[in-house]
Structure 1
Amino acid sequence: MRSIAVTAAGGPEVLRVVEQPDPVPAPGQVLVRVRAACVNPADVAARVGRLPGGPVPPPFTPGWDIAGEVVAAGDDVTDLSVGDLVAGMIPWFLTRGTPGGYAELVAAGTDWLAPVPPGLDPVVAATVPLNGLTAHRMLEIVDLPGPTEILVTGGSGGVGGFAAQLAAQAGHTVLAQATHEDEAWVRGLGVRTVIPRSADLAGYGPVPVVLDAVPVGDPAGPAVAAGGTVVTTRPTPPLDPAKRVRQEVVLVQTNRQALGDLLKAVANGTLRTRVAATLPLAEAAEAHRRLDRGGLRGKIVLTP
């Protein structure tokens, strides 16, 4: 099979097409022929070597998110069958690129995967797992007893967009940041107040909860109320200790039930995601160049 290897720490040019033996599913795994693999900022972090726990020695295969067709099953697999369409999140923090999603075939644990509902494009499905499960986990961490105000940074992005929608659908009043000229998209996510990206967040608080999906770090501090909670996607500096703010870092987890619910919501139109572009697998380097340049409205998806 063909896959993409990070051959050294560096720029997009270190991404190369390589030939590898076809993987064989172990017990409890299925072999997925990948139709779509989402490109995420976490893949860029892996490429340049900025990872918790240190860089992964190259060569390795990047990619967290896949969607495709089950083409073989290992022993003890009873809940998925050959021909099933699935999407899933490779727990890359554990696999460290063995496997990764930028490949024609992936041997995946069945607990990583959920069925793709009929009619849902695999390209769209591939944008859901990592970002959607991260947003879902953020709200689990907050564990709110009832409706409240929540400020979301990065509402134009993958995690922030899902977080804003899930919070609004849970009955919370949501304030969310939008990048320039993306206000209409963010407003359509069910938020009450759209915040310009350049705005001082202090002017929109205090709120009990900030879901810092970017994360912006210190600028979120003035927006959170004393005794409130800030959940970030990466570690950020401690905030003013006098405010007694609870700071949590989200650690995404595989969650088959939650992923299945997210995919169903996208399929029935109650949860929105968007694709900026699709590129062939061999153009992974170009996908990373576009991600590095920024300004994307949605995700880039590789189509092996």
Structure 2
Amino acid sequence: MLGVIAAALGGPEVLQVAELPEPEAQAGQVVVRVRAVCVHPADVASTTGQIPRGPVMPPFLPGWDIAGEVASVGPDTTDFQVGDRVAGMIPWYLTRGAPGGYAELVAAEADWLVPLPDGLDFASAATVPLNAQTAHQGLALLSRDQLPGGRVLVTGASGGVGGFAAQLAVQSGYRVLAQATHGDEEWVRGLGVHEVISRSTDLATVGPVAAVFDAVPLGEPAAAAVQSRGAVVSTRPTPAIDPARGVRQDLQLIHLDRELLAELVAQVAAGKLRTRVAATLPLAEAAEAHRRVLAGGLPGKIVLTPG
């Protein structure tokens, strides 16, 4: 089978198409024929070595989120049958590229996968697991001492995590102020948020808000909007806020929650949560996909389509 490996640490040029052995499903596993794999900033970070717990030494397979069909089933695996449509998240923070999703076939633990409703296409499904779970889990951190009805700022609402965070915050009863990329205000407004601001807005002028979900993250500029004794959740480490302000800071690091993932995929399939795909590219063009992610400004996610 074909896969795309990071042959060294570096930029997109380190990604190479390689012929790899076909995986076999072990006990509790299925082999997924991958029809779509999402390209995340986390994938780009993995190839440059800028990830938590230090760099993974090449060669390895990038790729967290996959959607496809079950090609084979291992012993004692009863959750899925051959031909089932599935979506899932490879917990790359554990596998560290063995396996990763940039391949035609992936041996996945059944617990990584959920059924894929017929009404949801593979490419859209592949944009959900990492982004939507990060948003939901980060919002749960934010909500520990913030009552529904409060005003919440979401940075990067044009992006994958920020877009889901904005929608889920609205569902939870918050008044959501969402920051949009220039020219993308209309799409962000369509997420049901209460206010939309542009990327160039000085966030110190829009507060005080009860809490900030800093999905970019921006760090200090976003923290300037939060009220004293408020809360900030970010998706990467950011500078400490002056302790005198009493602002609680949390770092959201993803953990796989199969029950939550099934719920989020079902919401997207039912049209209750929106996602979008900026472009699909063949798996062999993974390096080009990474270049586009690095360039930024994408109206949605890049998805690779093996096969």
Structure 2 partner of 1:43? 43
How do residues 257-276 of structure 1 correspond to structure 2 at under 5 angstroms? 257-276=259-278
* 146-155 vs 41-50, which moves further: 146-155
Answering whether residue 187 of structure 2 is matched by residue 185 of structure 1, we say yes
Answering whether residue 266 of structure 2 is matched by residue 231 of structure 1, we say no
Aligned residue pairs: how many?
304
Q: Is the 8 A contact 1:63 1:101 kept in 2?
A: yes
Answering whether residue 129 of structure 2 is matched by residue 99 of structure 1, we say no
Structure 2 partner of 1:298? 300
TM-score, scaled relative to structure 2: 0.97
Please state whether the residue corresponding to 1:26 is helix, strand or coil. coil
CA apart distance, 1:194: 0.5
Partner AA of 1:235 in structure 2: P
CA apart distance, 1:147: 2.9
Structure 1 partner of 2:162? 160
Structure 1 partner of 2:27? 27
Q: Is the 8 A contact 1:151 1:176 kept in 2?
A: yes
How do residues 46-195 of structure 1 correspond to structure 2 at under 5 angstroms? 46-142=46-142, 143=144, 144-195=146-197
Q: Is the 8 A contact 1:201 1:219 kept in 2?
A: yes
TM-score, scaled relative to structure 1: 0.98
Q: Is the 8 A contact 1:111 1:254 kept in 2?
A: no
Partner AA of 1:48 in structure 2: T
User: How many Å separate the matches in 2 of 1:107 and 1:169?
Assistant: 35
Partner AA of 2:108 in structure 1: A
Superposition CA RMSD, Å: 1.0
How do residues 245-256 of structure 1 correspond to structure 2 at under 5 angstroms? 245-256=247-258
Please state whether the residue corresponding to 2:224 is helix, strand or coil. helix
5+ residue gaps, structure 1: none
5+ residue gaps, structure 2: none
CA apart distance, 1:227: 0.9
Please state whether the residue corresponding to 1:137 is helix, strand or coil. helix
Deviations 1:87-124 (A, max 9, x none): 11111011100000100011111111111111210011
Deviations 1:193-247 (A, max 9, x none): 1111011111111111100000000111211111111000011110111111111
Structure 1 partner of 2:281? 279
Structure 2 partner of 1:214? 216
User: How many Å separate the matches in 2 of 1:82 and 1:188?
Assistant: 38
Please state whether the residue corresponding to 2:284 is helix, strand or coil. helix
Please state whether the residue corresponding to 1:87 is helix, strand or coil. strand
Answering whether residue 251 of structure 2 is matched by residue 244 of structure 1, we say no
CA apart distance, 1:29: 1.3
Q: Percent identity?
A: 64
User: How many Å separate the matches in 1 of 2:125 and 2:284?
Assistant: 21
User: How many Å separate the matches in 2 of 1:242 and 1:149?
Assistant: 22
* 244-253 vs 142-151, which moves further: 142-151
